[in-house]
Structure formats: structure tokens, C-alpha cells
């Protein structure tokens, strides 16, 4: 073989290797090969999938089967919008605070702030604007108590982001408080005071979700979970599962106590609705026990059996309200 032919063959082999190397690199590119546009990064940081949580402002008027005041539905919508803005503000600020830690998380490293798609300064400015809008909503409709509730939510959430998230058990209580404050926000906006039993049901439900979040993080990520959330070093998977079952049982007991106190024509339907609610809690516990890094919200909304239990409960609950 001539030197020229050998060089040609070597070049071809090198070119083939280079092409194969490029192909291999292409396969392991990060999820976002091209940085998303600024608006897309902002929208992703705002977490639209979390927005349905703000529908909890309708819980008090729904349970009371009344809007409580003239144009109560509009006041409830204002409360939902206020909490939407406030929660988005918390997401932006939290992502700035947790950017370094999120970069070590298998899912959260793709968040725009952690990945560098959204500058931290932009996220902070948007967060401040959203917080201001959320606080102003109550004043705009002459419901100062709504502003107080929103302010409490923001204060607790920011305190959680900077300090409380590192304190075991306490951090679970403060995560759950965000759900309960939404219920209270809807109550003060519509002038429909929720019963003590109903607030207890909401509190236990929120606490159970918070416990499930920690279990899925700890069981799904293993030892690496502690690097992402240091407070997890104080939790044990078996203890979280036991706590979830205990909280679920207490929730059903509180729900039955609330339903038993309803008016006669609604009582039967609401007591009956405790059956699919209990089935949903059992299914949720089963799904949580699986080692997965999927968000808890997906367990609640993407499982067929879970959705069936939830819709059955809702149908019986609404039927009771109309009885």
C-alpha cells in the first residue's frame, strides 16, 4: 500500500471516528439543546402546572354552598388571582435562592434560573412585581383582610425559602400552611367562614401532601436527596410512610365529623362521599410508596384509578350541596 493510500485510509477512519463522536455527543446533549426564549423561560419558572392549587380559594364557598356576599364569585376570582401572583413571586425568588442546589438535582437542574436560561436579576424583579400585584389585589377590591392573608403567605413562604426549609417537621408544617392560607383567602374574600372541622380537613390534607413530597424525594433520589434538601437527613422513609397513613386516617375522621354536622338533606351524600375519598387516599399512599422522582402533583392527576376516585368523590360532594 502506498503512503498516499495509507494516508487516505487513515483520514477516512479519522473522519468516521469523528462523525461517530459527534453522533454520540449529539445523543447526550442536555434537554434544551437551544436556550428557550426569554418569555418561555419566564413562563416555565412561573410553573403553570402548579396554578390549579389556587382554586382552593373556592373551597369555603363550595363547602358552604353559598357565595356569601353579592358578586361573591368575582371576589373569589380576585382572591385566586392574588394567590396566583403571590405564588409565582415565591417560585421566582425560591429558584434564585436554590439555583446552586437545583443544578445538582436530576429534574430541577433544567429550571430556567438553574440552567442559566433566565438571569437571576430578571427573576428577582419579576418576583417583586408579582408580589406587589398580589398584595394590591385585596386593597383594590376593598378587602384588606385578603391583603393580610396574602402578606402572611408571602412572609411565611420567603421565610421558608431562606431559613425554615432546613428545620425538619417545621418545614412540613409551613409547606402545608400555604394550602390552608388559600382556603382562608377565599373565605375572607367571599365572607364565608369555614367550619373548624372543614379547616382541619384542609390542614390534614395539605400536611399529607407535604409528607408525600418528602418521601418521594428521599426514596427516589436516595443519598443524593440530602445534597438537594439537607433537612431530609432527619427523615426516614418508613417513618414518612407511617406518618402519611396516620394523617390520612385522621383526615377521614375529620371529614366524617364535618359531614355529620351538615344539614339533614346533605348529610347522607357527604357521608357517602367519604368512601371514594378514603379510596383516593389509599391509592395515593400506594403511588407514593413507589420509588419515583415524579412530582406528587402527577400522582394526583395522572393515574386513572386516582382520577376515578377523585371524580366520584366530587360527584357525591356536589350532589350533597344541591340536595
The domain locations on the chain are 35-194, 195-323
| Spatial distance between the Cα atoms of 72 and 122, rounded to a whole number of angstroms | 36
| Spatial distance between the Cα atoms of 187 and 80, rounded to a whole number of angstroms | 11
pLDDT of residue 319: 92
Mean pLDDT of the chain: 86
Of 37 and 312, the one with more pLDDT:
312
Q: For the chain, give the percent of residues with pLDDT over 70.
A: 88
Average pLDDT over residues 88-116: 91
Please, which pLDDT band fits residue 295 given cuts at 50, 70 and 90?
A: confident
> Does the structure show a pLDDT above 70 at 202?
yes
Q: Enumerate long-range contacts of 30-34, CB under 8 Å, 24 or more apart.
A: 30/110, 30/115, 31/110, 32/110, 32/115, 32/117
* Top-ranked range on mean pLDDT: pick from 6-20, 25-39, 64-78: 64-78
In CATH, the number for domain 35-194 is 1.10.357.140
pLDDT of residue 293: 65
| Spatial distance between the Cα atoms of 131 and 90, rounded to a whole number of angstroms | 8
Q: What is the pLDDT of residues 249-287, one digit of tens each?
A: 999 999 999 999 877 788 899 999 999 999 999 999 999
Helices (H), the chain: 3-27, 38-45, 59-64, 72-97, 99-102, 112-115, 120-140, 144-162, 170-190, 196-221, 224-228, 237-260, 264-272, 274-289, 296-301, 304-322
Q: For the chain, give the percent of residues with pLDDT over 90.
A: 63
| Spatial distance between the Cα atoms of 158 and 135, rounded to a whole number of angstroms | 14
For every residue of 36-103, DSSP letters joined together read: PPHHHHHHHHT-GGGGGGGGGGGHHHHHHTS--STTHHHHHHHHHHHHHHHHHHHHHHHHHHTHHHHT
DSSP, collapsed to helix, strand or coil, labels residue 119 as coil
pLDDT of residue 4: 45
Residue 244, φ and ψ in degrees, nearest 5: -65, -40
DSSP, collapsed to helix, strand or coil, labels residue 163 as coil
pLDDT of residue 22: 44
Q: Which residue has the cell 462523525?
A: 19
Q: What is the pLDDT of residues 42-58, one digit of tens each?
A: 999 999 989 999 999 99
pLDDT of residue 77: 97
The C-alpha cell of 292 is what?
419515583
> Does the structure show a pLDDT above 90 at 3?
no
> Does the structure show a pLDDT above 80 at 12?
no
Amino acid at each position: 500500500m502506498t503512503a498516499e493510500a495509507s494516508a487516505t485510509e487513515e483520514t477516512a477512519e479519522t473522519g468516521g471516528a469523528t462523525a461517530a463522536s459527534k453522533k454520540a455527543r449529539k445523543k447526550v446533549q442536555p434537554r434544551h439543546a437551544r436556550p428557550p426564549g426569554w418569555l418561555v423561560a419566564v413562563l416555565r419558572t412561573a410553573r403553570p402546572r402548579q396554578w390549579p392549587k389556587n382554586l382552593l380559594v373556592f373551597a369555603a364557598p363550595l363547602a358552604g354552598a353559598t357565595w356569601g356576599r353579592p358578586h361573591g364569585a368575582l371576589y373569589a376570582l380576585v382572591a385566586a388571582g392574588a394567590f396566583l401572583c403571590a405564588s409565582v413571586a415565591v417560585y421566582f425568588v425560591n429558584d434564585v435562592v436554590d439555583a446552586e442546589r437545583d443544578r445538582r438535582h436530576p429534574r430541577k437542574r433544567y429550571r430556567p434560573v438553574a440552567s442559566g436560561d433566565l438571569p437571576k436579576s430578571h427573576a428577582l424583579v419579576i418576583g417583586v412585581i408579582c408580589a406587589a400585584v398580589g398584595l394590591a389585589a385585596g386593597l383594590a377590591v376593598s378587602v384588606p383582610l385578603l391583603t393580610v392573608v396574602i402578606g402572611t403567605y408571602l412572609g411565611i413562604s420567603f421565610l421558608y425559602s431562606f431559613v425554615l426549609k432546613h428545620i425538619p417537621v417545621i418545614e412540613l408544617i409551613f409547606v402545608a400552611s400555604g394550602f390552608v392560607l388559600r382556603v382562608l383567602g377565599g373565605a375572607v374574600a367571599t365572607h364565608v367562614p369555614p367550619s373548624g372541622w372543614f379547616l382541619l380537613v384542609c390542614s390534614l390534607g395539605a400536611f399529607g401532601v407535604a409528607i408525600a413530597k418528602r418521601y418521594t424525594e428521599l426514596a427516589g433520589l436516595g443519598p443524593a436527596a440530602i445534597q438537594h434538601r439537607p433537612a431530609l437527613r432527619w427523615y426516614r422513609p418508613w417513618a414518612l410512610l407511617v406518618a402519611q397513613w396516620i394523617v390520612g386516617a385522621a383526615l377521614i375522621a375529620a371529614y366524617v365529623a364535618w359531614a355529620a354536622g351538615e344539614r339533614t338533606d346533605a348529610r347522607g351524600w357527604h357521608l357517602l362521599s367519604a368512601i371514594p375519598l378514603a379510596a383516593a387516599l389509599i391509592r395515593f399512599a400506594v403511588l407514593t410508596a413507589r420509588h419515583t422522582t415524579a412530582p406528587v402533583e402527577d400522582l394526583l392527576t395522572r393515574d386513572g384509578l386516582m382520577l376515578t376516585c377523585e371524580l366520584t368523590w366530587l360527584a357525591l360532594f356536589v350532589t350533597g350541596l344541591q340536595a
